[in-house]
Every structure is written in structure tokens, then in C-alpha cells.
A and B are shown apart, each in its own frame.
Chain A
């Protein structure tokens, strides 16, 4: 019976004017998306390749002396572009493209035993690198046409246009009464209608997707491996879930309101608020209310103000210079301890500043999640490997690498029998060249597991939205007088 209803409804849907118009609109959007992204990934990748080779060249240059590596750090660590950029722009233009392992930015030369002893801080991770607004960005503001826009705005709108008269229209025409006079359960009717709407919208969606992928494939832009294919199919599934939310919403309103045009008016209003206004307004509100607790990043010489330096001075830091003696003298050890603690503390402060900024955005994102549009945006961004969640994963990769790099420096020093083994003070360390091959290189990787983990919460929320709306629609349909 269910199948019978689905078939009948589907036949009616597919033959209708709106189906044709929906198909046309979606395919057009998808075509524009494909045309706009031809060769874009290649450009991004070649840019990334240049940046990475610059990073490697710098590393190689510094590898003639171990201490140079300690001072200068690994350099700029770049984020790998995602091949699925056309699915989700994820505001990548507003996110840093790299994190930098750079010199500390301070040096001091206290007078010890009548001579200047010069010392500078060792490297640490810094999280600047936000792109400036380029001259070419000064252009009338427009929405980036990616899959997210197509799914979240165009297809959700179509979902409402497909369903606004699903029940109310039939009530008006009296056909619902006829249907129910047969031995059909109401839930079967509702489920049948739901499935047919989902299938016909899915057909529109998949039609657009196929045109899009085909064009990108033919132009040679799209060269995906198994991992990326699984991402694309998950994006498709998440898109369908999102559409189900709107279909369920359409049914709910259509059941509650007896007049088809009134139900469309209500639906459009909800749509405007949910899809267009909430995601763009709540963020602004939140960022206004919640200023980050720290106004500026740490100054490079914070340690002279924070009491760290005084503590070491009290222990006799500037009484004696470190020497190359083996085993290391207490002065060498003290300097090493000071430099290490300074670097650790500096990195911690940079991180705390970053965390304060990230938290603010996280709160805004949590609030935005009252709109399924924001939810689907976050989920697709995670799956496509762009956007904020991906940036956080990138930062995690960078931090892991920073630890690895420091471990490597220590292990190289250990291997040198002539070194006093008191890293990281210049005199306490090996000053031999390092073999470039043995230095760990930063490889930004995108793991599928991270992507799914990032999208998990959002997918659950979407399901929740769907369950609530569909159940409500179901209950009200059961209780409806026809």
C-alpha cells in the first residue's frame, strides 16, 4: 500500500511544473558552480606547493647549524587546500593559510663580567597570518556559489515549494477524504507523501550534482580518490537529511493550516528567518556581546613584565654566562632552564590568546545551530575539509608537529658526544650541521575520521530536528478532522 501511494505521488510530482522548474534552477546553479571552479583547485595546489617548497628551502638553509634551527624554528607551516573547495568555501579566504614557527622576537644583552652577553629567545608557534583584505576583494558583496549555498538555500526553498500544499491542497480539493475512505492508515499516507517528496527532491539534487561533477571531471579539475568520493557521498547524504527537515516542516504547516496559500506564506516566513536571517544575524549579535577576554596577543618581551625574568635573576641568572664546559656548569643549566621556560610560557600565552578568540566563535556557532541552515553548513564544511572545524584540526596538526620538531632537536643534541647536553642555550648545545633528510617535515594531512567526528554533532542535530518535526506533523495529522 505504501509503495502504491509513493508511486502515485511521485508520478504526480514529477509531472508537475514545479519539478521541471526546480530541476532547471538546480542544474543552473550547479553549472555555475562548476564553471566557476574549473581549475581553481589546481591554482590553489600550485600556490600551496610553492609555499611548501619555500618552507623546505628555508629549513635546508638553517640545517647547517643545529642552533639556527632552535632559534628560527621550522618556519611557516601551510595548510593544505581541499579538493572539495567547490562544495564548501568555508570562508577559507578569511582564515589564516598558515601557522608560523618563528623566532621569539626578542633578544637581550645583559652585561656579565664586564662584557655584553647576547641571547635571544628560542622559536615558538604563533597563530597570526590572517589574510588582509585585498584590493580585488573590494567588490560588491555576493554569496559564494558553492554546494552549501545550493543545498541550504535553493533546495530547502524547493522543498517548501514541493510540500506546502501536500495536505492542505488535498484537503481543499477533497481528494484526501477520498483517499482516506479506502482502508489506508493515515500514517501510511503521510509516510508515502514524505517518501515521494524526498525522492523527487533527491532526483533534482542528484541531477544537479551529476551535471556539476561531470563538468568538473571533463575539465580535468576533478581527480578524486576513494576518500574524497566517500566525502562527497556523505555530503550528499547530509544534504538529503537537511532536505528532510524542510519537507517535514512543510508537512507540519500543511497539516496545521487548511488553506494552501496561507501555509506557503507561513513556510516562506519561517524559511526567510531560518535560512537567510538567523545565520547572518546571530553571529553579529554574539560577537558584539562577547568580547574576548584578552585584547592583544602576548608581547615578545612579556617575561620582563610578568616576573619570570625576576625569578631567574634572583637565582643568579645574570651573574654568570653559560659555557661549553662538560658536564654543564650550573650557570649553563640555569640559562637553559630560563630559555625553555620562557619559550613554553610564550607558546602557552599565544595559545591562550588563540583559545579566547576561538571560544568566542564557538559560542556564536553553538547559538547559530538553532537554524538547520547553520547546522548543515558546519556539517558540510567538516566533510569537505574546509572552514573553521578544519582549521582547528590543522592547528592540532601544527601543534603535534611542533612537539615532534622539538623532540628531534633534543635527540640530535643527544647524539653529539661533544655537546654539554643542556638544550636550548647556545653554549649548551651541539653546533654541528644537521642532515636535512632527518629533520621531520610538516605534512598537513586531512583525516577522514576527523571530518566525520567534526560532522557528528551536526548530523545528530539534523536528525533531531527531523524527528521532532516529523513526529509533530504525524501527531497533528492523526488528530486532524478532514
Chain B
């Protein structure tokens, strides 16, 4: 029986004009979007590759330990085509320094693959926003007359004359329409994949396919949520015209009004400036204390210079605490080398300690300001299906704040590894810290940085599934309410 009803609904939907519109609209928009976004990704990838090459050569070309300040690059995420999140916005490189713990929250210069800075005047879009707008709207268009229309036509009465449960009718309508909506959605995803696989820049692995599958699943659940909202309205309101208008207003509120307004207000009224300035002042104080403190032994390169007659090579900084590369030390100054070694050992341990202290202050300040604000915004978004959809797909695609933070966490860990390596090598108290006259440092056994993004399972279990579950929760609730309303109604 159910199958007959579903087949009937399916046929009714497939033959309609709106199904045709759905297919054409989703396909053409996804086609245009995929081409543009893939091109943009390729551009960013090219610029990343260029930087990466440059930095790879530079990172291990230093001759002394102190000149080791590698730059690490964050690769653009190919899934940003689906949900761009913070992928374009956040910093895409970091530098490992002895005296500073790398962190995400700094000002970023605009190096996102375009040479024209005015380009930011033109808006950007990703595929998830296309689905977000289009499929929620189409779901409502499919649903508004599902029950109200049948009632108006009198067909509902005819069906109920037969021996059919009301629950079955609601279920059949839901399944039939969802099949109809899933079809163009599936086609759009396949089209996107087809286009992306044509590109030489994108290579998807199993992990990525699972992520795309996750995005697809979330989109289906999202569409179904809106369909059920429409079905509910259609069962409550008896006239199709009114049901349509109410659906449209609810769509406006859920997709446009609520997410944007909540974010706008959170952004406007949660002030971070004060706390950040406060932290900056505290940090400045510490840095000042350290670099001007009396206990720090005097600079061995100034009044009077201990290593008289020495020559500095390429890549040497005029600041003593930064890179030093002395290529020649005359014999007469050789007796001062132990003093200089001791100086650097003390200076470096002081710098590492200061960096740690500064980082603790920063970490606190960030978690109380930017991270807190971002979490509030996220939680505010969770009240609307559109917000949940956005957050969940962001987690699937791995373009959210958590992923970017993750990269910086890996950078911090790498810094720790390097420090341990230097301790093992006794690098801080070695001659090669500042001088390469007795041979340059060999970087053969230094740990290399590799960033392994979290697997799809980690991302899913930590973030994506939670929001997907919340989104899904709307579905049985709405279905039950619709059923309850419908079964008590006079037809």
C-alpha cells in the first residue's frame, strides 16, 4: 500500500513544472559555481605551491642554529569549494621562532591568490550557500500544497475513503517528495565531482570522498527539514495560497533573517578590543622587561665587541637575539668565544621562557575574546536549521576555525620538537649557534614538519555529526507534529 502511494506521489511530482525547474536551476547554478570555485582553488593552490617551494629552499639553508626560522605553509583545502569557511580568510603561513610561539590570531595580509586588492569588493559564494538557498526554497515549494492542495481539490477525501491510514499518507507524501528532491541534488553533486576531477589540481582520496558524502547527507537532511516544515504548514493551514505565503515568510526568517541578524548582533555587541589591548600591554611589558632587564648580560657584539675582527656572513641580523652567522673569527678573539657561547645560552633560555609566558597570556586572552565570541556566534546559529547546516558542512569540509587552529597547534608542537632537538644537540651552548666558521650546521637529522589533517572520522565524531544530529532531530519532531495535527483534522 505504502509503495503504491509513494509511486503515485513520485509520479505526481516528477511530472510537474516545479521538478523541471528544480533540475534545471540546481544543475546550472552548480555548474557555474563549480567552474568558478575550482578555478579559484587552483589559483590559491598555485600561490601556495610557489610559497612552499620558496620556503622549502629557505628553511634548511641556514648555516647556524640561530638562523633556523622555518616558514610553514597551510595548504588550501579543495573542499573549500563546498564550504569555504575560514579557508581563504585565515593566515596561511606561520614561522617557527625561538622567541615566539606561533598563533593564528594576527592581522593577515591579503595573499589569497589574487593580485588585485580591490577584488574583495566583489562578493564570494560557495556551493553550500547555493544549496542552502535553493534547496530550502524548493523543498517548501514542493511541500506547501502537499496536504492543503489535496484537501482543496477533494482528492484527500477520495483517498481516505479507501482503507488507508492517515499516517501512511503523510509518510508516502514525505518519501515521494524527498526522492524527487534528492535526485537533482545527487545530480548536482555528481556534476561537481565530475568537473573537479577534470582539474589537474584536485586529487581526492577516500577520506575526501567520505567528507563529500557527509556533505551530501547533511544537504539531504537539511532539505528534508525544510520539506517537513512546509508539510507541517500545509497541514495546519487549509488554503494553499495562504500556506504558500506563510512558507515563504518562514523561509525568509530561517535562512536570511535569523542567521544574519544573530551574527550581525553578536559581532557588533561582543567587544573584544579592550581585553586584547589589555593583553597586548601586558605582553609589551614582559618583552620590555626581558630585553631591557639588567640581568641579561651585555651584548658581546657591542661596546666593546668581544669577537673583534670577525665577519658576519649572509643572513645575519643586526639584532643579536635574532639570526647570527659569523663566518670568520680571528685567532686573537678566540679566547672570547666561550663568553659569547655562555651569553647566547643564557639569552636563548630567557627567550624561550619569555615566549612561554607571553603565549600563556595570549592564549588566555584569545580564549576569552575571539574564541569565546566565535563560540557564541556558533551557538546562536545552532537555533536555525540553516545555521546547523552551515556548521555541519563546515566541519565535514574541514574549513572551520577548529581546523585552522589545528594547523597552528601542529606548528606549536613542531616548535617544541625543534627545541627538544636543540637541547639534545646542545645547540644553544654550541659554537654553531652563532658561527659557521668551523663548518655549517648539517640539517640531516632535524625533525621535519608534516601536518596531517584530522581524518574524516575524527572531524565527524567531534563536530560534524553533532550538528547533523541536531539538524536531524528536527525531522522526527516535525513529522510527528504534522501527523498529530493531520490525524485530528476534519477533512
> Could you tell me which A residues sit within 8 Å of B by CB distance?
17-18, 21, 25, 28-29, 32, 35-36, 91, 94-95, 130, 132-145, 149, 153-154, 157, 161, 165, 169, 260-262, 264-266, 268-269, 272-273, 276-277, 279-281, 283-288, 291-292, 295-296, 357-358, 360-361, 364, 368, 387-388
Complex alpha-carbon distance, A36 and B90, angstroms: 25
Pairwise interchain contact B381-A95, C-beta atoms closer than 8 A: no
Pairwise interchain contact B373-A139, C-beta atoms closer than 8 A: yes
Contacts of A94 in B (CB 8 A): 117, 120-121
Given contacts A135-B106, A140-B390, A357-B117, contact A287 B122 (CB under 8 A): yes
Pairwise interchain contact A284-B40, C-beta atoms closer than 8 A: yes
Pairwise interchain contact A25-B25, C-beta atoms closer than 8 A: no
Query: Among the listed stretches B6-14, B254-262, B312-320, B450-458, which one makes contact with chain A, having 4 or more residues with CB under 8 Å of it?
Result: B254-262
Of A25, A145, A292, chain B has the most CB atoms within 10 Å of the CB of A145
Contacts of A281 in B (CB 8 A): 32-33, 36, 125
Contacts of B122 in A (CB 8 A): 280, 283-284, 286-287, 361, 364, 368
- Does B377 count as interface, using CB distance less than 8 angstroms? yes
Across the interface, name the chain A residue whose C-beta is closest to B404. A138
Given contacts A138-B401, A145-B264, A276-B133, contact A169 B241 (CB under 8 A): yes
- Does B124 count as interface, using CB distance less than 8 angstroms? yes
Q: Nearest chain B CB to A10's CB is how many angstroms away?
A: 18
Contacts of B120 in A (CB 8 A): 91, 94
Complex alpha-carbon distance, A154 and B273, angstroms: 32
Pairwise interchain contact A21-B29, C-beta atoms closer than 8 A: no
Complex alpha-carbon distance, A454 and B263, angstroms: 32
Complex alpha-carbon distance, A139 and B263, angstroms: 9
Contacts of B292 in A (CB 8 A): none
Complex alpha-carbon distance, A32 and B276, angstroms: 27
Q: Nearest chain A CB to B259's CB is how many angstroms away?
A: 7
> Could you tell me which B residues sit within 8 Å of A by CB distance?
17-18, 21, 25, 29, 32-33, 35-37, 39-40, 43, 84, 86, 89-90, 104-110, 114-125, 130, 133-134, 137, 141, 144-145, 240-242, 244-246, 248-249, 252-253, 256-257, 259-261, 263-265, 267-268, 272-273, 276, 370, 373-374, 377-378, 381, 390, 401
Q: Nearest chain A CB to B265's CB is how many angstroms away?
A: 7
Given contacts A25-B257, A145-B260, A361-B122, contact A130 B117 (CB under 8 A): yes
Contacts of B276 in A (CB 8 A): 135
* Residue among B17, B35, B86, B240 making CB contact with A262, cutoff 8 Å: B17
Pairwise interchain contact A25-B253, C-beta atoms closer than 8 A: yes
Given contacts A18-B245, A36-B264, contact A277 B137 (CB under 8 A): no
Of B124, B244, B259, chain A has the most CB atoms within 10 Å of the CB of B244
Q: Nearest chain A CB to B324's CB is how many angstroms away?
A: 28
Contacts of A280 in B (CB 8 A): 122-125
Pairwise interchain contact B89-A138, C-beta atoms closer than 8 A: yes
Pairwise interchain contact A35-B260, C-beta atoms closer than 8 A: no
Pairwise interchain contact A153-B256, C-beta atoms closer than 8 A: yes
Contacts of B256 in A (CB 8 A): 143, 153-154
Complex alpha-carbon distance, A65 and B60, angstroms: 49
Across the interface, name the chain A residue whose C-beta is closest to B29. A277
Of A18, A139, A266, chain B has the most CB atoms within 10 Å of the CB of A139
Complex alpha-carbon distance, A476 and B358, angstroms: 72
Q: Nearest chain A CB to B325's CB is how many angstroms away?
A: 27
Q: Nearest chain A CB to B231's CB is how many angstroms away?
A: 16
* Residue among B25, B33, B86 making CB contact with A269, cutoff 8 Å: B25
Contacts of A260 in B (CB 8 A): 241
Complex alpha-carbon distance, A141 and B123, angstroms: 11
Q: A91-B120, A276-B133, A361-B122 are in contact. List 19 more A-B contacts (CB 8 A).
A: A17-B242, A18-B245, A25-B253, A133-B110, A138-B86, A138-B89, A139-B377, A143-B264, A145-B261, A153-B256, A154-B256, A157-B248, A261-B145, A264-B141, A265-B18, A268-B137, A280-B124, A285-B36, A387-B121
Contacts of A144 in B (CB 8 A): 264
Given contacts A130-B110, A157-B252, A287-B114, contact A21 B245 (CB under 8 A): yes
Complex alpha-carbon distance, A154 and B39, angstroms: 31
Complex alpha-carbon distance, A266 and B268, angstroms: 37
Across the interface, name the chain A residue whose C-beta is closest to B18. A265
Across the interface, name the chain A residue whose C-beta is closest to B271. A136
Pairwise interchain contact A273-B29, C-beta atoms closer than 8 A: yes
Complex alpha-carbon distance, A388 and B123, angstroms: 13
Of A140, A169, A266, chain B has the most CB atoms within 10 Å of the CB of A140
17 contacts between A and B (CB under 8 A): A36-B268, A95-B118, A95-B121, A133-B89, A135-B105, A136-B272, A138-B370, A142-B260, A145-B261, A261-B141, A264-B141, A265-B18, A269-B25, A277-B29, A279-B123, A280-B125, A284-B37
Of A32, A132, A287, A358, chain B has the most CB atoms within 10 Å of the CB of A287
Q: Nearest chain A CB to B469's CB is how many angstroms away?
A: 20
Complex alpha-carbon distance, A388 and B105, angstroms: 29
Complex alpha-carbon distance, A387 and B120, angstroms: 12
Pairwise interchain contact B17-A265, C-beta atoms closer than 8 A: yes
Contacts of A284 in B (CB 8 A): 36-37, 40, 122, 124-125
Pairwise interchain contact B21-A361, C-beta atoms closer than 8 A: no
Q: Nearest chain B CB to A284's CB is how many angstroms away?
A: 5
Pairwise interchain contact A134-B374, C-beta atoms closer than 8 A: no
Complex alpha-carbon distance, A295 and B115, angstroms: 7
Pairwise interchain contact A132-B108, C-beta atoms closer than 8 A: yes
Contacts of B123 in A (CB 8 A): 279-280, 283
Contacts of B89 in A (CB 8 A): 133, 137-138, 141
Across the interface, name the chain B residue whose C-beta is closest to A40. B268
Q: Nearest chain A CB to B397's CB is how many angstroms away?
A: 14
Contacts of A142 in B (CB 8 A): 259-260, 263-264, 267
Across the interface, name the chain A residue whose C-beta is closest to B42. A288
* Residue among A25, A268, A361 making CB contact with B141, cutoff 8 Å: A268
Pairwise interchain contact B107-A272, C-beta atoms closer than 8 A: no
Across the interface, name the chain A residue whose C-beta is closest to B273. A136
Pairwise interchain contact A272-B134, C-beta atoms closer than 8 A: yes
Q: Nearest chain A CB to B243's CB is how many angstroms away?
A: 10
Contacts of B257 in A (CB 8 A): 25, 28-29
Pairwise interchain contact A25-B252, C-beta atoms closer than 8 A: yes
Contacts of B40 in A (CB 8 A): 284, 288
Q: Nearest chain A CB to B77's CB is how many angstroms away?
A: 15
Of A260, A268, A273, A279, chain B has the most CB atoms within 10 Å of the CB of A268
Contacts of A285 in B (CB 8 A): 32, 35-36
Q: Nearest chain A CB to B466's CB is how many angstroms away?
A: 17
Across the interface, name the chain B residue whose C-beta is closest to A292. B116
Contacts of B25 in A (CB 8 A): 269, 272-273
Pairwise interchain contact A360-B29, C-beta atoms closer than 8 A: no
Complex alpha-carbon distance, A140 and B263, angstroms: 8
Complex alpha-carbon distance, A134 and B253, angstroms: 30
Pairwise interchain contact A134-B261, C-beta atoms closer than 8 A: no
Pairwise interchain contact B249-A25, C-beta atoms closer than 8 A: yes
Contacts of B370 in A (CB 8 A): 135-136, 138
Pairwise interchain contact A17-B246, C-beta atoms closer than 8 A: yes
Contacts of B121 in A (CB 8 A): 91, 94-95, 283, 361, 387-388
Contacts of B253 in A (CB 8 A): 25
Contacts of B137 in A (CB 8 A): 268, 272
Q: Nearest chain A CB to B186's CB is how many angstroms away?
A: 20
Pairwise interchain contact A265-B21, C-beta atoms closer than 8 A: yes
Pairwise interchain contact A288-B118, C-beta atoms closer than 8 A: no
Q: Nearest chain B CB to A290's CB is how many angstroms away?
A: 9
Complex alpha-carbon distance, A280 and B124, angstroms: 5
* Residue among B115, B273, B401 making CB contact with A291, cutoff 8 Å: B115
Complex alpha-carbon distance, A36 and B266, angstroms: 10
* Residue among A135, A262, A277, A360 making CB contact with B116, cutoff 8 Å: A360
Q: Nearest chain B CB to A105's CB is how many angstroms away?
A: 19
Complex alpha-carbon distance, A361 and B120, angstroms: 10
Complex alpha-carbon distance, A145 and B261, angstroms: 7
